[in-house]
Chain A
């Protein structure tokens, strides 16, 4: 008993050296990083927030060039007072040149291998250089938190479909599905916006849809909670809000592949420029909405087929319903896929005063 006790104490002390200590205030917490492809070299920028005594955050960035992806961190270490650690990474931005020319697969792979990087971090592509976006200051809480919150609230309540490292990797590894990431853009000094969604094939951006089309893309791949949409009904303008949607895919034919997508939408009419909203007008708005959704969604899928990408995952969907599915065959078949979108919009509320 006593021997065991002494032994365990000795072991405890001996093993305590095995765990690496990273005391919170003695490390530099990398909260965001940006990668660019400049002059044939990869340039990494690490964003480290410096917390000032008055609780404001100063954004400090370190940049280094390297040929290997994550290698840049070890170069950056030489510039920083405390060791830079990756555990609190929130966002990773990829510059336009990098995403379109070199590809981001190597970089994604290194994030996947780092155990201290969470699967929930946000990835995004940028218009122009990523470094410019990460070096700007937005708000008091630091750039990383700002961008991270920007993306997360747009995913939760607005038109951006859900993406993060985990989803990106799962889409990437899923045959018959194309991963996508949001695209950010600097609109003026210290102000950014989400400018669209980019689609990747083997780590390269194939195409980008603008922000206006994101709504219809989200209808196809995600569930809505609080999106909103404006449309023209005759001469009047209407805005619908709080849209909840569900999509349901149905395989119609296997030999000449055809899929029916049924999108069910519940919405609230919250603005209408006309004088009165009567049930007749509601019907009209619903009809218009149906038409618009069907048209836009089908247009999107056509566009995807042209670019030979499949972000909705039609391939994956058919595979899951087909025995001995042949992906080789599918690559040619995909061009012939017929997607028919039907929408069913219900306006559940149109205001209290009638």
Chain B
């Protein structure tokens, strides 16, 4: 009796699923009759997910005109590569929602076939917008996982590139791909990522940013601990370095882990430029970040506590600009900083065309008017505007956001204790950064722990010929990137 009940259950399961699906408007079930054998067969599919032309052109004509007996025969007559035969009804739901068409024969309810007919609604590959570079590849990831993986595969056509796929999200069933290079990447790291992805507990994962927040080492830190990028070339480069990339279906941002703080300040364009130039730009960026975080707090601290530090030649300018201001420096600074934040936030939320108006309103009206009204000093206006400008130099958007936030605690401490407060806040920040890890690897590496070989590609970038070693912090299985063979001495032309 055992086999009978099992079969019965299976049929029940199929029935109940079909009934369930009937409630959705886009579920369709159509029956046909073969012209030769008069066999009845039916398609079940979800119209919104499949490309009906595939059915019409590649499946239906053959099924109607060629003769077949069993479900196995179908494979011979339908010219579709992805055609699976199964007898497990539990697969049905997943397959139907992945864009397969269910084919059943009336005579054989137990077995059925899945015909792949996914509708690919994909936007075309566009230029990177967040990490734009003047030179270098102009491709950016899109929302389709398949397409994104295609971009990577094309750049790394070796068998060592392993792509593992997992499904996360109880409702969204999002596909997450983990990419690494076998034989280079530390297996411990891979295992770690895999475990974390498997343990993700959430209902709907709609973007890779969800994954970032769910698998980060320290979830309460404002600093992103996974680098997100939209550039296939960057992902390729870090895979070769021995890092791990995570792709999430439906997200145009790939994730890179483990990462370090300095990586957030390197734009991928750095690698396209000569090493002297790119080192210079990296240092500029670093300076810009320090400037953007510290300059307003320093202004507040000096004006409130340490007027001794102001050079005698600057005194006049500062005092005259502060003369009519009724607010103490901290309120003045907060007022302007908040204005800039408002402008930025409003600009980010509005459509581009309206955004331009916001820029004009912000720049001209608020800026000059507040100075003329005597609410803020024009020195501070320049400082805040410069700080905002400097904060835009961070190549990674998420890090830029973290930096936006950072200057407020600094301002607070500058008001409390002046420069001492700034130092104190800096100590807090350093403590936090030193404790931070990315995939259990120190986040501040190679500054702390100091690793000389990794310095070659951190705050500065040495020429490629010097970059013989993969980052030490990754503990790669193959620390040497390439073997340096001595160049053959070119003989004299006469010899």
A15 touches B319 (CB 8 A): no
Q: Given known contacts A21-B304, A88-B308, A88-B312, is B417 in contact with A53 (CB within 8 Å)?
A: no
**Roughly how many angstroms separate A25 CA and B325 CA in the complex, as a whole number?**
9
A52 touches B318 (CB 8 A): no
A57 touches B316 (CB 8 A): yes
A24 touches B307 (CB 8 A): yes
Q: Among A15, A20, A24, A90, point to the contact of B312 (Cβ < 8 A).
A: A90
A85 touches B307 (CB 8 A): yes
Considering the complex, which residues of chain A in the window 55-70 have a beta carbon less than 8 Å from any beta carbon of chain B?
55, 57
What is the interface of chain B mostly: helix, strand, loop, or mixed? Answer: helix
B303 interface contact, C-beta 8 A: yes
B490 interface contact, C-beta 8 A: no
**Roughly how many angstroms separate A31 CA and B315 CA in the complex, as a whole number?**
11
**Roughly how many angstroms separate A205 CA and B140 CA in the complex, as a whole number?**
79
**Considering residues A31, A55, A85, which has the most beta carbons from chain B within 10 angstroms of its beta carbon?**
A55
- The residue on A at minimum CB distance from B300 is A23
Which residues from B are CB-within-8-Å of A27? 307
A19 touches B305 (CB 8 A): yes
B60 interface contact, C-beta 8 A: no
A21 touches B316 (CB 8 A): no
- The residue on A at minimum CB distance from B418 is A19
Q: Given known contacts A85-B307, A88-B310, A116-B308, is B322 in contact with A25 (CB within 8 Å)?
A: yes
**Roughly how many angstroms separate A163 CA and B210 CA in the complex, as a whole number?**
66
- The residue on A at minimum CB distance from B320 is A51
A16 interface contact, C-beta 8 A: yes
B316 touches A22 (CB 8 A): no
**Roughly how many angstroms separate A242 CA and B303 CA in the complex, as a whole number?**
41
A88 touches B417 (CB 8 A): no
B329 interface contact, C-beta 8 A: yes
Which residues from A are CB-within-8-Å of B417? 15-16, 19
B359 interface contact, C-beta 8 A: no
Q: Among A23, A31, A51, A116, point to the contact of B304 (Cβ < 8 A).
A: A23
Q: Given known contacts A19-B418, A23-B329, is B316 in contact with A87 (CB within 8 Å)?
A: no
Which residues from B are CB-within-8-Å of A52? 320
B323 interface contact, C-beta 8 A: yes
B320 touches A53 (CB 8 A): yes
**Roughly how many angstroms separate A13 CA and B417 CA in the complex, as a whole number?**
10
Which residues from B are CB-within-8-Å of A16? 416-417
Q: Among B306, B319, B418, point to the contact of A25 (Cβ < 8 A).
A: B319
**Roughly how many angstroms separate A49 CA and B320 CA in the complex, as a whole number?**
12
**Roughly how many angstroms separate A184 CA and B67 CA in the complex, as a whole number?**
119
| Interface size classification for chain B | 20 to 34
Considering the complex, which residues of chain B in the window 411-442 have a beta carbon less than 8 Å from any beta carbon of chain A?
413, 416-418, 420
**Roughly how many angstroms separate A19 CA and B304 CA in the complex, as a whole number?**
10
Q: Given known contacts A116-B308, A141-B316, is B418 in contact with A24 (CB within 8 Å)?
A: no
B328 interface contact, C-beta 8 A: yes
Considering the complex, which residues of chain A in the window 1-49 have a beta carbon less than 8 Å from any beta carbon of chain B?
12-13, 15-16, 19-25, 27, 29, 31, 49
Which residues from A are CB-within-8-Å of B307? 22, 24, 27, 29, 85, 87-88
B318 touches A24 (CB 8 A): yes
Q: Among B308, B316, B328, point to the contact of A23 (Cβ < 8 A).
A: B328
- The residue on B at minimum CB distance from A144 is B312
Mask: chain A, 116-151; 1 = CB below 8 Å from B; 0 = not:
101000000000000000000000011011001000
**Roughly how many angstroms separate A92 CA and B462 CA in the complex, as a whole number?**
53
Q: Among B302, B303, B312, B318, point to the contact of A145 (Cβ < 8 A).
A: B312
Which residues from B are CB-within-8-Å of A13? 416
**Roughly how many angstroms separate A87 CA and B304 CA in the complex, as a whole number?**
13
**Roughly how many angstroms separate A24 CA and B101 CA in the complex, as a whole number?**
77
B317 interface contact, C-beta 8 A: yes
Question: What's the nearest-Cβ distance from chain B to residue A94, in Å?
Answer: 21
Which residues from A are CB-within-8-Å of B329? 23-24
Question: What's the nearest-Cβ distance from chain A to residue B333, in Å?
Answer: 12
B320 touches A87 (CB 8 A): no
A51 touches B316 (CB 8 A): yes
Which residues from A are CB-within-8-Å of B416? 12-13, 15-16, 19
**Roughly how many angstroms separate A51 CA and B305 CA in the complex, as a whole number?**
20
Which residues from A are CB-within-8-Å of B302? 24
**Roughly how many angstroms separate A140 CA and B325 CA in the complex, as a whole number?**
24
**Roughly how many angstroms separate A20 CA and B305 CA in the complex, as a whole number?**
7
B312 touches A51 (CB 8 A): no
Which residues from B are CB-within-8-Å of A20? 305
Which residues from A are CB-within-8-Å of B310? 24, 88
Q: Given known contacts A19-B417, A23-B329, A88-B310, is B305 in contact with A55 (CB within 8 Å)?
A: no
**Roughly how many angstroms separate A24 CA and B307 CA in the complex, as a whole number?**
6
Question: What's the nearest-Cβ distance from chain A to residue B46, in Å?
Answer: 50
Mask: chain A, 329-344; 1 = CB below 8 Å from B; 0 = not:
0000000000000000
Question: What's the nearest-Cβ distance from chain A to residue B305, in Å?
Answer: 6
**Considering residues A16, A23, A24, A87, which has the most beta carbons from chain B within 10 angstroms of its beta carbon?**
A24
**Given pairs A16-B417, A87-B307, 18 additional interface contacts (CB within 8 A):** A12-B413, A19-B305, A19-B420, A20-B305, A21-B305, A22-B307, A23-B303, A23-B304, A24-B310, A24-B322, A24-B329, A25-B319, A25-B323, A52-B320, A85-B307, A87-B308, A88-B315, A148-B312
Interface residues of A (CB under 8 A from B): 12-13, 15-16, 19-25, 27, 29, 31, 49, 51-53, 55, 57, 85, 87-88, 90, 116, 118, 141-142, 144-145, 148
| 15 residue pairs A–B, Cβ–Cβ below 8 Å | A12-B416, A13-B416, A22-B304, A24-B304, A24-B318, A25-B322, A31-B312, A49-B316, A51-B315, A51-B319, A51-B320, A53-B320, A53-B323, A55-B316, A88-B310
Interface residues of B (CB under 8 A from A): 302-308, 310, 312-313, 315-320, 322-323, 325, 328-329, 413, 416-418, 420
Q: Which 8 pairs from chain A and chain B are nearest by CB?
A: A87-B308, A16-B416, A51-B319, A25-B322, A24-B303, A51-B320, A24-B307, A116-B308
